[in-house]
Amino acid sequence: MTTNVEPRPFRPEDAAELTDLLNSAYRELQDAGLNFTAATQSVETTRQRVADGVCWVVEQDGRVAASMTMSVPPPDDVRSLSEHAQEPGTGWLCQVAVGPQLRGRAVARTLFDVACAWAMRHGITRIGLDTAAPAEHLVAMYARWGFEHVDDVHFPGKRYDSIVMTRNVTGL
């Protein structure tokens, strides 16, 4: 089932709601032993991460219920670990979150389509991301979106290895 949603750009006043969404959307991963930053991050961390890129949100009943951020260039931590994040013209998907009430409705894909359109308008030719290797449902979703597994990394302080995935923007 799909939902007709209208992603919009993040606004500074969204920071607290976005933090709540990220904390709740990543809670099940945290409960599974995957210490994603988004599961426990503060409002200040949310502001910093959004400031490093462009962020879109989807509202439901007047509250932030889904989001996606693209960092250009990719964050320093992943650039230090993977040559794929160092390639010119690369944008990086970060902190993709869909609240439980919107899951299974292609909301993340809608956000991804918006991110791809933005990337094409801004000269981005490749999109990358990293996710926890044990989060098989996320790896599978990104593979359905055309991403390919290109590298394995381990971020300091994390209890899991991460998979780096990339795809070309052209030809969408």
52 in any annotated domain: yes
Q: What is the pLDDT of residue 171?
A: 57
The range of the structural domain enclosing residue 125 comes to: 8-168
Quick check: 172 and 116 in contact, CB under 8 A? yes
Residue 1 lies in a domain: no
Given the structure tokens 């709601």, which residue do they identify? Answer: 17
Check residue 100 and give its pLDDT.
87
Per the document, the length of the chain is 172
Alpha-carbon distance of 84 to 87, in angstroms, equals 6
Q: State residue 46's pLDDT score.
A: 97
Tell whether 3 is covered by a domain. Answer: no
Query: How far is it, in rounded angstroms, from Cα 71 to Cα 98?
Result: 18
Q: Give the Cα separation of 153 and 84 in Å (integer).
A: 11
pLDDT given for residue 1 in this prediction: 47
Q: What's the number of domains the chain is made of?
A: 1
147 part of a folded domain: yes
Q: Is residue 97 part of a domain?
A: yes
pLDDT at 172 (0 to 100): 52
Would you state the pLDDT for residue 146? 96
40-76: per-residue pLDDT in tens? 999 999 999 999 899 999 999 999 999 999 999 999 9
User: What residue ranges of the chain have pLDDT lower than 70?
Assistant: 1-3, 171-172
Residue 4 pLDDT:
74
Angle separating helix axes 43-51 and 15-25, nearest 10 degrees: 100
Maximum distance among all Cα pairs of the chain, rounded to whole angstroms: 41
Q: What is the CATH number of the domain that holds 97?
A: 3.40.630.30
Task: Let me know if residue 29 belongs to a domain.
Answer: yes
Q: Are 5 and 66 in contact (CB under 8 A)?
A: yes
